[in-house]
Amino acid sequence: MDLPKTKSGALAGAPVYEHLAKKNIPGILLACNFRYIPGISLGVFKALKKTNTIAIAELAKSECDVNKGYTGMTPQMFVEQISEVAQEADWPWYILHADHITVKEDSTEAIDSAKALIKAHLEEGTGSFAIDCSYHFNTEADEVSEQLKRNIELTAELTNFLKKHASFDFGLEVEVGEVGKKDQEGFVVTTVEEADYYINALTERDFRPHFLAIANGSTHGNIFDEEGKQIDQITIDIPRTVEIGKAIAKYGVRVAQHGITGTPLTFIEQHFPKIEIGKGNVGTNWQNIFYDSLEKHEPEMYTQVRNWVLEEFSSKPKNQGQPENVIFGNNAKYAFREFYDDFRTIDKKTLKAMEKNAYDSAMEFLKAFDSRDLVKHFED
């Protein structure tokens, strides 16, 4: 099967996603938010090669934007660095994805900012996009059609822009329900009615989403208890996820599971539905590997970074009174831009340690996701 590639050398998203969904092939595509690329991503790519499988390399708008985002990378920098890693690993079976192209405010400025990022990614050969207008939910409306109206309109506008400027069959992820949002009763969870109405509305507008990100009890980043101890995430509503997955399957759409870091691998392997969930985002896990390796092998640099994070973020209202490890764990991501050049001087031995740890972790996720050996489905 001759799969089309973009100018970056990565695979175009749509042909891969559609083939897996059409053939009802089980397995969750591992989607990695690489906030730091050296060492970490090479370990993951070597795991992909070892298991003969496909994965996704991605960064969200907050992480990687035309003005760099908190990783210190632009789309050009991200695509170039991932492409180099793929060549070094000698593994071409990957997709580049622009994650969470978010429009939080209903303003011309916010919409134009999203369009600028889409265009920048297209120019670099990114082959898959996540349009996230989930913040636009009319809580005062009673009917789902009115509740989701602005989300649908904004998603349609950005997807139309994407279709107009893309020269290939791109992958498309959309979102209904804010990941990690809570109210007084706990996590706000996307309903089956919302998911079905939303995808149907986009389909009627001649769009072909491949993945739907939903709110199902997960949250981004590390999770801590009241005493500041890092804990597992076991709040994902599996029955609702399955219900939504089955409801949107008729459109050729699968669920994109966000916020997986912290979820026990045994829970993923035993309970995640491998048909209904088609894409699994893992981001903070790689960041944790980076900082654990840095602390062990380059303690002076780690201490410098930790002190900067604590000094910069301890006084923020939401962090006041929090244990230091919670403040660091929730805000260490912002150091990637501040220490971008310093992090590129990390010793080769440290990078090798990061590579090994990332390789081992990727192997575990690929097993839990049941996504090993996906390449064989494209070799007929």
Band of pLDDT at residue 272, cut at 50, 70 and 90: very high
Contact between 46 and 88 under an 8 Å Cβ cutoff? The reply is: no
| CA nearest to 353, candidates 296, 288, 285 | 296
- Range 266-269 contact pairs with CB under 8 angstroms and sequence separation of 24 or more: 266/368, 267/232, 267/234, 268/365, 268/368, 268/369, 269/367, 269/368, 269/370
**Residue that wins the pLDDT comparison between 241 and 229:** 241
In this structure, how many other beta carbons lie within 10 angstroms of the beta carbon of residue 303? 12
- The per-residue pLDDT for 222 is 82
Calculate the CA 6 to chain-centre distance.
Answer: 20
| Cα-only R_g, the chain | 20
User: Tokens for 89?
Assistant: 């690993």
Q: Kindly tell me the sign of the dihedral angle through the C-alpha atoms of 214, 220, 226, 229.
A: positive
Domains of the chain, residue spans? 21-298+346-378
| Residue at 313: amino acid letter | F
Q: Please give the helix or strand (H or E) that residue 208 lies within, else none.
A: none
Whether the pLDDT of residue 224 is over 80: the answer is no
DSSP string computed for 183-202: ETTEE----HHHHHHHHHHH
Q: How confident is the model at residue 179 (pLDDT cuts 50, 70, 90)?
A: low
DSSP class per residue in 92-141: --EEEEEEEEE--S-SHHHHHHHHHHHHHHHHHT--EEEEE-TT---TT-
**Residue 180: pLDDT over 70:** no
- What is the Cα 40 distance to its own chain's centre? 16
Reading the block at residue 293, the tokens are 């390796």
pLDDT tens figures, 50-59:
999 999 999 9
Question: Can you tell me the mean pLDDT for 219-248?
Answer: 85
Give the other-Cβ count within 10 Å of 193's Cβ. 13
- The CATH homologous superfamily to which domain 21-298+346-378 belongs is Aldolase class I (3.20.20.70)
pLDDT score at 225: 73
Tell me the whole-structure pTM to 2 decimals. 0.95
pLDDT at 323: 93
